[in-house]
């Protein structure tokens, strides 16, 4: 899929994050990951392990209010190198409201392909 196609699938803008976090896999294995970006829909992370699409995980993130746990589903997983994976995590609906609360500047959705901005 080309970059233009990927952008067309995004429902909200992404903010760079550059923060460490912990992912807790279904078998309770804890994995250190790096958050690359955050949006109103979820997180883009780098992980040393693959997290296949459809996998439900929790992610512990250090916020101003303390450690916050987000329940997420993996919606994208691509191997970058032997032990490095790019993962897209969608925050489950119950946690999305809190994600909007802790995101300092919620952004409007990206315009749909072909629309013009003024």
Which tens digits make up the pLDDT trace of 51-82? 999 999 999 988 778 888 999 999 999 999 99
Residues 6+ apart with CB under 8 A from 21: 32, 33, 34, 35, 43, 45, 59, 60, 61, 62
Closest CA to 56 of 40, 72, 35: 72
DSSP 83: T
Question: Which sequence spans correspond to the domains of the chain?
Answer: 12-102
- pTM score: 0.70
**Are 59 and 42 in contact, with CB atoms under 8 Å apart?**
no
At 86-109, the pLDDT tens digits run 999 999 876 666 555 555 554 444
Please state which CATH class domain 12-102 belongs to: mainly beta
């Amino acid at each position: 899929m080309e970059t233009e196609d990927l952008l067309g699938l995004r429902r909200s803008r992404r903010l760079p994050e550059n923060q460490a976090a912990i992912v807790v896999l279904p078998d309770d294995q804890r994995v250190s990951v790096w958050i690359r970006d955050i949006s109103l829909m979820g997180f883009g992370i780098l992980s040393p392990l693959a997290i296949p699409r459809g996998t439900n995980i929790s992610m512990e993130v250090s916020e101003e209010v303390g450690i916050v746990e987000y329940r997420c589903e993996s919606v994208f997983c691509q191997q970058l190198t032997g032990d490095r994976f790019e993962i897209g995590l969608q925050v489950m609906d119950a946690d999305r409201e809190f994600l909007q609360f802790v995101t300092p500047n919620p952004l409007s959705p990206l315009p749909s392909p072909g629309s013009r901005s003024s």
